[in-house]
Copies of this chain bind each other. A is one copy, B any other.
Amino acid sequence: MKKRVGVVGATGYTGLELIRLLLRHPNVQLTALTAERYVGQPIWKVFPSVLKEIDIICQPLEVESLAKNCDFIFTALPHKAAMEVIPGFWQRGIKVVDLSADFRLRDPQVYEEWYEKHTAPEFLKYAVYGLPELHREEIKKTSLVANPGCYPTSIILALAPALRHKLVDPHSIIADSKSGVSGAGRSAVLSSLFAEVSENFKAYKVTEHRHTPEIEQELTFLAGKKISLTFTPHLVPMKRGILSTIYATLAQPISEREIYGAYEQFYRNEKFVRLRPGDLLPSTADVWGSNYCDIGFKVDQRNNRLIIISAIDNLVKGASGQAVQNMNLMLGWEESLGLEVIPLYP
């Protein structure tokens, strides 16, 4: 009755977030968790937050055995590792949502430029970019979803109505994004230490972050013409949350009310996008723990620019929540199943 679901790479932060969401999903039974470093250990020893909730033991990543015990797989692996195992699931008819970057870029050339040589380019044509608000119908039909990156989700959703309605000059886009530290994953690296991050704010990978081509691919799709943008990520001393402040020159004079109308029309039926009215601009705390993307904006009349601000929880709408949303679509279920979490505030 329930679908048997496995999480490959279960002991990263997006892995845990998948576990949290899937444990409360009415149509799902978690049947397998893989984690090379913790093989043989119950997951609650790694994450005591799920003590008494789940007893599954971490197992090694073996495609054959996973395919037997799972009807659906989430891969929450680093890039490269993902494309090594996903063909195996595909060949066994297992549907997959992949949270890595490996199948997001349609052009293997671009992948090679920003990452490395792609080892399974023949599967790129099957993959659908899993932003339901843009590609819902294709997601419903595919067996392989490339779950979007966290920054791209926050930027693409913020710009989609403006580009579709040709409200802005597509060559003027600058996205200044700020992320909490969980975006760097659960790896023991110096730059993620509390003592390095707390009371600190900085930019990183300026002009060279790997999410750039992914953002440009989707903005190009939206605008119908080639788009190149300036994208600057920053690190905020907080655990979760991304806020993107996006600047673009207005194509013609337009009032905030008209822009609101365009956005309202575009997102009217979207459960997980919330337009913030007037001066009530988004803040990351207002979406904490939820699958919402909040969007607001202001017109800078003095300089003829549109400033769009979006906020998501990078681990939910920016990763695991969106992954579940994609699974729901792929399996023909109500899109919001298991995702109706109200943000925790404060």
Residues of B with C-beta under 8 A to A201: 178, 180, 236, 238, 241, 243, 283-284, 311
Pairwise interchain contact A48-B286, C-beta atoms closer than 8 A: yes
CA distance A197 to B280 in the complex (A): 16
Q: Is A190 an interface residue (CB 8 A)?
A: yes
Kindly provide the distance from the CB of A261 to the nearest chain B CB, expressed in whole angstroms: 18
Contacting residues, chain B, for A228 (C-beta < 8 A) = 302-303
> Taking CB as reference atom, which chain B residue is nearest A303?
B230
CB-contact partner of A285 in B199, B307, B342, under 8 A: B199
Interface residue A181 (Cβ < 8 Å from any Cβ of B): yes
Which chain B residue shows the least CB distance to A212?
Answer: B302
The yes or no answer to A106 lying at the interface (CB within 8 A) is no
CB of A29 within 8 Å of the partner chain = no
The minimal Cβ–Cβ distance linking A296 to chain B, given in whole angstroms, is 9
Q: In whole Å, how far is A265's beta carbon from the nearest beta carbon of chain B?
A: 16
A333 within 8 A of B: no
The chain B residue with its CB closest to the CB of A236 is B201
> Is residue A336 within 8 Å, beta carbon to beta carbon, of the partner chain?
no
Q: Which residues of B contact A13 (CB under 8 A)?
A: 195, 346
Establish whether residues A239 and B199, one from each chain, have CB atoms under 8 Å apart when the complex forms: yes
Q: How far is the CA of A299 from the CA of B206 in the complex (A)?
A: 9
Query: Known contacts being A192-B193, A194-B237, A236-B201, is A49 close to B286, with CB within 8 Å?
Result: yes
Q: In chain B, what residue has the closest Cβ to A235?
A: B283
- Which of B207, B240, B288, B292 contacts A300, CB < 8 Å? B207
**CB distance A286 to B16 under 8 Å?**
no
A61 contact set on B, CB distance < 8 A = none
CA distance A230 to B346 in the complex (A): 30
Is the C-beta of A95 less than 8 angstroms from some C-beta in chain B? Answer: no
- The answer to whether A340 and B24 have CB atoms under 8 Å apart is yes
Q: Do A245 and B234 contact each other (CB < 8 Å), given the known contacts A192-B193, A344-B289?
A: yes
Q: Which 8 A-B pairs have the closest CB atoms?
A: A202-B283, A200-B285, A49-B345, A195-B346, A194-B197, A49-B343, A176-B176, A181-B194
